[in-house]
Structure 1
Amino acid sequence: MKQRDIQVLQEMGLTYWQVRKPEIFPDQVIPVIDLPESCKLLLVTNDELNEHDAWLFGRILSSMKLQPEQALSLPLEALEQVGEHHLTWCWFAGCQGAHPTGCQVLNSVSLPLMHNDPSAKKTLWQQICSYDA
């Protein structure tokens, strides 16, 4: 991809993209996503989070003694591009994948499904607490 194309994507606010047919571009370098040092939790989900989901996510972060600015979200297909990180947690919500090395892994249903499922919230909380033991 030419530098001009990348610049146009960035001007549109697109900082992550995926080529549908990478075999067309054999020399393409897959960009590495280096997470900021402040990022302690990575939410891996393919769901678009609405305001209600963001509220629940904030409550869960608060229970983990984390601030919203200490968390980022990526779709599952971008996870393989994560390079340098200082993660403590990697939370898979509604999907499964290989997690970045050196972090504690959480698995749950997607946030939209979790709203009305007390047992899913309890299961997530038990996973979080199991790392404190």
Structure 2
Amino acid sequence: MDQIRNQALLSEMGIERWSLLHPDRLQGYQPESLIIDSNIKLLFVSQALPQGSEALFMQKVIQGAMSLSLEYCRHIQPNQFTQLGEHNLEWVWFCGCEPQSTNISKALHSPLLTEIDGHNQNRRALWEQIKSYE
């Protein structure tokens, strides 16, 4: 009953999903592995999910340079990356956050999308990273 009430409270506040920021501070806590669907090829790691013009710009990048569509992408926050379980990922894109050690062969690191769109130097740097994997 308490769980249902807690979910109702979170829903009223507009919170659909939550996770602990510092699970290591809870003694004995083991976070669940983050399950990534087998069809997901790009993991977008950033503090915020792209919205509006940022999402459109991201879509242009992944369609044009990576030949992927949004249905093959998933967003997670940087603190969730260590919980990554088994996956079939080809790409990981650390956007506006520090890159983390990974066994994913195609890893990108860039500033925030707002700092790439309309900024030729940052756009060229991202393009060069993507093309280096061809």
TM-score by length of 1: 0.82
Deviation of residue 121 (structure 1)?
0.9
1:8 lines up with 2:7 in the alignment? yes
Q: In the alignment, is the contact (CA less than 8 A) between 1:90 and 1:99 conserved in 2?
A: no
> Which letter maps to 2:7?
V
Distance (whole Å) between structure 1 residues aligned to residue 49 and residue 86 of structure 2: 25
- Secondary structure at the aligned position of 2:35 is classed as coil
CA distances 1:53-81 after superposition (whole Å, capped 9, x unpaired): 00001001101110101001111111111
Aligned counterpart, 1:128: 130
Deviation of residue 99 (structure 1)?
4.0
> Which letter maps to 2:61?
I
Q: In the alignment, is the contact (CA less than 8 A) between 1:47 and 1:110 conserved in 2?
A: no
Deviation of residue 19 (structure 1)?
5.0
Q: In the alignment, is the contact (CA less than 8 A) between 1:82 and 1:100 conserved in 2?
A: no
Deviation of residue 109 (structure 1)?
1.0
- Secondary structure at the aligned position of 2:126 is classed as helix
TM-score by length of 2: 0.82
Aligned counterpart, 2:19: 17
Q: In the alignment, is the contact (CA less than 8 A) between 1:99 and 1:105 conserved in 2?
A: no
Aligned counterpart, 1:85: 87
- Secondary structure at the aligned position of 2:102 is classed as coil
Deviation of residue 21 (structure 1)?
6.8
* Mapping of residues 65-80 of structure 1, within 5 Å: 65-80=67-82
* Mapping of residues 47-58 of structure 1, within 5 Å: 47-58=48-59
Q: How many residues align?
A: 127
How much is the aligned-residue C-alpha RMSD, in angstroms?
A: 2.4
Deviation of residue 46 (structure 1)?
1.1
Indicate the percent of aligned positions where both proteins have the same amino acid: 21
Distance (whole Å) between structure 1 residues aligned to residue 35 and residue 23 of structure 2: 24
